[in-house]
Structure 1
């Protein structure tokens, strides 16, 4: 695992349905980009030093933006389907 400041650390939920954790990497403590990382977590703005395990991935800022865009697109499609079903149900 390699990172640079500005990348995102994403840790998957430890059980089904559990939310994952995301944080912005503020500092990389090793010259080759390997852990530990100083991370600011999005959930509570807490800053901590992390040695990520196998359930973690590093995303570049561009990869994180692309993932956010995909999630927004899925959400918008679901909202549209709900709206269409609701409109269809009112017609009957």
Structure 2
């Protein structure tokens, strides 16, 4: 997975009751656009993520 700052990651719900959500990539911590990424979620909190197969990239 390769992303750029400003791209959005769409996380699909993996379990019953988990809703789909998005997060904006604000920093790339890996090399050449690879994970891990620092993201800002819709509710404003930030986290470091290594996306799995349930994640889609939405280019900026």
* TM-score normalised by L of structure 2: 0.88
Structure possessing the higher relative contact order (Cα contacts under 8 Å, 6 or more residues apart): 2
> Residue in 2 aligned with 1:53?
52
> Residue in 1 aligned with 2:15?
15
CA RMSD of aligned residues (A): 1.4
User: Unaligned 5+ residue runs, structure 2?
Assistant: none
Return the offset for 1:10. 0.7
* TM-score normalised by L of structure 1: 0.59
| Structure whose residues are more often helix by fraction | 1
For the residues of structure 1 that align with 2:36 and 2:15, how far apart are their CA atoms?
24
Q: Which runs of 4+ in 1 moved over 3 A?
A: 15-18
User: Unaligned 5+ residue runs, structure 1?
Assistant: 62-92
Return the offset for 1:15. 3.2
Task: Count residues in correspondence.
Answer: 60
Structure with higher Rg: it is 1
